[in-house]
């Protein structure tokens, strides 16, 4: 009987090509992250479950949002007890680790996965530092998205789908005000204003965006027609902001749109999670678009970084983790739970119309640009954010004032 089973199995292998070779064993990984919401944890569990299914052991350290997660991470690395994997996307920090030989290089392994045709250009940019693949991408979010309340739009007699430019959008604001609706809900906190001005710069010119927010900004580009145009749009939004916008949280701002008190919000597309939590249906209760007529978009990407493995087992384990994160079915499942866009162009099963719209947009070379906190010098980024906040809160501040002060900060921080 046993002999018959063995012969049958042998014939099965020959006839079907099935291999019973044992997969490479996986070890353990210490995973450090600052995700703590239900959606974030649920999305991470998609990766965790697959990793454990393949034989890996997942240990994690979770630091809540906005609690200075980088400090314990740096302490762990410098203290000799570092995590194997951590969420990070600061190029300057990673470049320093690379120079110390502490970052895992996946460049050769990435080529074996044949991902180039399915990874959007901007996502691949985020995966690389100095020409080397050192990150595995988790999420894609568009910073400058518009979500609007369909009932509020109908009440005001406005069709956002008809807008071709920002000027078209502004032209409909009086209709919203006449209907007793806030035209554009803005949370005027510094970090939100920072992103908003970046969205206006991306709107007028992707080239200018890169010259302002790159690791090596082009000081001469600050003083340009395009920069003045972006600042003019930014000022017009400020002039139309409601009185309650000052220091308002982004999610409280989103709820104004959900309730119909405001027509729309222009912010990162993570606001979709608030609509989902409120059991609102995309395409029915609310709808979405990129900024009408934008020349480019800001893209923020969460990604995992791996410390250089010291053993072959650790290397094999990290490569398995990297592969899981870039699998089509995994990024689809992950994105539906997280409310983000998948990191692959072909990962469209189960995702909503907004995510499909984002994938279509960032499939175009040069249309997606990495958000400034990924690429920009931290000190100069802080100076830029301060100026964006000052311009918003000082109606008498001119575009010339802004440009002059930004150039001065460049000289102080980056000038040689």
Q: What are the structural domains, with CATH classification, of the chain?
A: 24-140+301-360 (3.40.190.10), 142-299+372-413 (3.40.190.10)
What does the pLDDT read at residue 78? 80
Query: What is the chain's pLDDT, residue by residue, as a tens digit (416 residues)?
Result: 444 444 443 433 443 444 434 467 899 999 998 887 788 889 999 999 999 999 999 998 877 654 444 677 888 888 888 899 998 777 778 888 899 999 999 999 999 999 999 999 999 999 999 899 999 999 999 999 999 999 999 999 999 999 999 999 999 999 999 999 999 999 999 999 999 999 999 999 999 999 999 888 999 999 999 999 999 999 999 999 999 999 999 999 999 999 999 999 999 999 998 999 899 999 999 999 999 999 999 999 999 999 999 999 999 999 999 999 999 999 999 999 998 999 999 999 999 999 999 999 999 999 999 998 888 888 999 999 999 999 999 999 999 999 999 999 999 999 86
User: Pairing mode, if any, of strands 297-300 and 141-142?
Assistant: antiparallel
What does the pLDDT read at residue 36? 77
What does the pLDDT read at residue 65? 56
What does the pLDDT read at residue 146? 98
Euclidean distance between CA atoms 204 and 310, whole angstroms: 47
Q: What is the dihedral of CA 76, 87, 70, 192, to 10 degrees?
A: -170
What's the alpha-carbon Rg for the chain, to the nearest Å? 24
Measured over the CA atoms of residue 46, residue 47, residue 50 and residue 55, the dihedral's sign is negative
Cα end-to-end span (Å), the chain: 82
Does residue 85 contact residue 32 with C-beta atoms inside 8 Å?
Answer: yes
Measured CA to CA in angstroms, residue 385 lies from 83, 91, 201, 231 at distances of 31, 19, 14, 14
Measured over the CA atoms of residue 104, residue 105, residue 108 and residue 110, the dihedral's sign is positive
Euclidean distance between CA atoms 156 and 124, whole angstroms: 42
User: Pairing mode, if any, of strands 85-87 and 28-33?
Assistant: parallel
Q: What residues form DSSP beta bridges with 147?
A: 265, 288
Angle between helices 328-338 and 38-53 (to 10 degrees): 160
CB atoms within 10 A of CB 166: 19
What does the pLDDT read at residue 35? 83
User: Pairing mode, if any, of strands 182-185 and 262-267?
Assistant: parallel
Helix ranges (DSSP H) in 240-339: 250-259, 272-277, 312-325, 328-338
Euclidean distance between CA atoms 315 and 321, whole angstroms: 10
Counted residue by residue, the chain has a size of 416
| Helices and strands per DSSP (H, E), number in the chain | 21, 14
What does the pLDDT read at residue 40? 87
Measured CA to CA in angstroms, residue 318 lies from 109, 329, 411 at distances of 11, 19, 42
């Amino acid at each position: 009987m046993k002999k018959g089973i063995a012969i049958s199995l042998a014939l099965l292998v020959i006839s079907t090509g099935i291999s019973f070779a044992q997969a490479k064993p996986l070890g353990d990984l210490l995973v450090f992250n600052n995700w703590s919401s239900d959606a974030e944890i649920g999305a991470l569990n998609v990766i965790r479950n697959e990793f454990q299914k393949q034989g890996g052991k997942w240990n994690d350290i979770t630091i809540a949002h906005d609690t200075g997660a980088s400090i314990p991470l740096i302490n762990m690395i410098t203290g000799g007890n570092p995590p194997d994997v951590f969420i990070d996307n600061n190029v300057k920090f990673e470049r320093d680790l690379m120079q110390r030989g502490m970052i895992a290089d996946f460049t050769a392994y990435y080529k074996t996965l044949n991902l180039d045709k399915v990874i959007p250009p901007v996502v691949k940019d985020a995966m690389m530092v100095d020409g080397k693949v050192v990150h595995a991408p988790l999420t894609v979010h568009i910073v400058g998205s518009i979500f609007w309340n369909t009932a509020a739009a109908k009440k005001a007699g406005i069709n956002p789908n008809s807008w071709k430019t920002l000027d078209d959008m502004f032209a409909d604001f009086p209709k919203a005000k006449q209907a007793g609706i806030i035209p554009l809900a803005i949370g005027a906190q510094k970090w939100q204003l920072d992103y908003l001005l970046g969205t206006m710069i991306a709107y007028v010119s992707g080239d200018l965006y890169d010259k302002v927010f790159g690791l090596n900004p082009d000081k001469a580009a600050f003083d340009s027609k395009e920069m003045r145009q972006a600042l003019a749009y930014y000022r017009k939004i400020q002039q139309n902001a409601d009185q309650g916008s000052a220091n308002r949280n982004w999610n409280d701002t989103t709820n104004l749109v959900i309730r119909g008190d405001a027509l729309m919000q222009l912010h990162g597309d993570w606001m979709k999670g608030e609509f989902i939590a409120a059991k609102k249906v995309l395409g029915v209760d609310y709808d979405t678009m990129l900024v009408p007529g934008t020349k480019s978009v800001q893209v923020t990407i969460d990604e995992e970084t791996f410390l250089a493995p010291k053993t072959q087992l650790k290397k094999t384990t990290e490569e398995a983790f990297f592969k899981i994160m870039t699998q089509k079915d995994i990024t689809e499942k992950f994105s539906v739970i997280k409310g983000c866009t998948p990191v692959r162009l072909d990962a469209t099963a189960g995702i909503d119309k907004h995510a499909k719209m984002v994938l279509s947009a960032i499939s175009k070379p040069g249309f997606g640009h990495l958000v400034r906190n990924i690429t920009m010098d931290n000190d100069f980024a802080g100076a830029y954010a301060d100026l964006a906040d000052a311009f918003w809160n000082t109606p008498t501040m001119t575009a010339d004032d802004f440009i002059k002060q930004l150039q001065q900060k460049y000289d102080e921080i980056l000038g040689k």
